[in-house]
Structure 1
Amino acid sequence: MTIDAADLKRMFDAIAGAIEADKGRLCQLDGVIGDADHGIAMALGFGAVHDALASLDLATTEPTALLNTAAKSFLNAVGASSGPLYATAFMRAASAVKGKATLADADFNALFQALAQGIKDRGKAELGEKTMIDAWQPAAEAAAAANAAGKTLSESLEAALAAAERGAEATKDMIAQKGRSSRLGERSLGHIDPGAASAVTVIAAMKKSLA
């Protein structure tokens, strides 16, 4: 399976739609341990990406240029914490597929690894700190393992989604170490991290649009 700029645009459109539909739930989750705006911020960011990509000439746009456009528009729309995280993710992904007009399964896997690593590096978060990394890192590891085992992209993304879901669920049993929710200490127990929850929504939309 090869993926071109038009496929990536469809993927981002699918993410924007999925996040918009999930906005209320994400804000609710964030209301418990944050400032109740995570869903709004994510919807603003992916909505801006959707609008920015709509004006590109996809026939002449390489994946790298599309991903850099996504990074810039997300960051301009969202100054809050998720803005720099996802902008860094998209810029890293852009670098990972530089010079390629179309992406094979292995290239998309490299893009996916770069997304997760970008979020991790920018957020300086580790597993177990109750952040979106608790969903993104296991997802990237599962995708890499599936890809290495010769699985298709669709199967790799399925493995990634299952790992992200388990990771997000596991944040219930963690005490927040980062960001605003870290001030709650033990009161953050029992609640899913909103960033991990939105990561699952993003990965599910990616899988659905590319499968």
Structure 2
Amino acid sequence: MAATLEKDDVVAMLRHVSERLIAQVDILTDADLAIGDGDHGIGMQRGFEGTLESFDATPPENIEAAFKAMGTAILSKTGGAAGAIFGTLFRAGSKVTAGKETIGGADIAAFLETGLEAVLKRGGVTEGQKTIIDGLAPAARAARAKEAEGADAVLSAAADAAVAGVEATKGMVATTGKARSLGERSLGHPDPGAISVSLILKAMQDFAARA
């Protein structure tokens, strides 16, 4: 289990995340069909395929560049609100790793907090509105609580909190985004963006547990 991650570890981890999300396209599509227009899965697939293409074309020189390249690929390839939100998460979060040769638990917690803050500003939403925030905010809090225990422990706590956040969205009425028009009919369905957060963090956790 990895307490810290070096540049090559981070690049390999983000590759693993990309491959995992690409493989989950059907799950994300089905979730979005229930409360949206069904394009979330394909959009995320394109974004993470773009990440792999970017890494192959221009191998990241450092940790910050790796996170930023993922965010840029998602921003340009995913499209729509998801592209803007997840692209912002990784691009903003990358800034806390500037100049670092390794990252540990505190760095990952800072990454999630900084990314969350940027997404909140960009999206104009708050926790409890059945969005990505309901997976990301609990994950950031859980990560900070475990910051002293290393990358693997922080990612494990964050992933578990994100999963709990996804479950919580089932009991929320969507008040923003495409699902807003459904009103009470959105009850019982998890938010696709929150699911994506949980899948990303779970893939990170799995990698760190083996590194």
- Flag whether TM exceeds 0.5 (same fold): yes
Moved over 3 A (4+): none
Matched with 2:33 is 31
Matched with 1:195 is 193
Name which of structure 1's ranges 124-133 and 92-101 shifts more when overlaid on structure 2: 92-101
Per-residue Cα deviation, 1:34-71 (whole angstroms, up to 9, x for no partner): 0011111111111101110123345xx11122222222
Shift, 1:124, TM fit:
1.8
For 2:123 and 2:151, locate their aligned partners in 1 and report how far apart those are by CA, in whole Å. Answer: 27
TM-score, normalised with respect to structure 2? 0.92
Matched with 2:18 is 16
Matched with 1:165 is 163
Structure 2 residue matching 1:206: 3-state secondary structure: helix
Report matched runs for 1:148-159 at 5 Å: 150-159=148-157
Contact 1:12/1:46, CA 8 A, preserved across alignment: no
For 2:204 and 2:120, locate their aligned partners in 1 and report how far apart those are by CA, in whole Å. Answer: 19
For 2:62 and 2:95, locate their aligned partners in 1 and report how far apart those are by CA, in whole Å. Answer: 12
- Show structure 2 runs of 5+ residues with no match: none
Shift, 1:155, TM fit:
1.3
Matched with 1:78 is 78
TM-score, normalised with respect to structure 1? 0.92
2:55 to 33, 53, 60: 53
Shift, 1:207, TM fit:
0.8
For 1:75 and 1:156, locate their aligned partners in 2 and report how far apart those are by CA, in whole Å. Answer: 26
For 1:81 and 1:93, locate their aligned partners in 2 and report how far apart those are by CA, in whole Å. Answer: 18
Is 1:104 aligned with 2:104? yes
Shift, 1:190, TM fit:
0.9
Measured on the aligned residues, the alpha-carbon RMSD in Å equals 1.5
For 2:99 and 2:171, locate their aligned partners in 1 and report how far apart those are by CA, in whole Å. Answer: 43
Contact 2:11/2:63, CA 8 A, preserved across alignment: no
Shift, 1:107, TM fit:
2.1
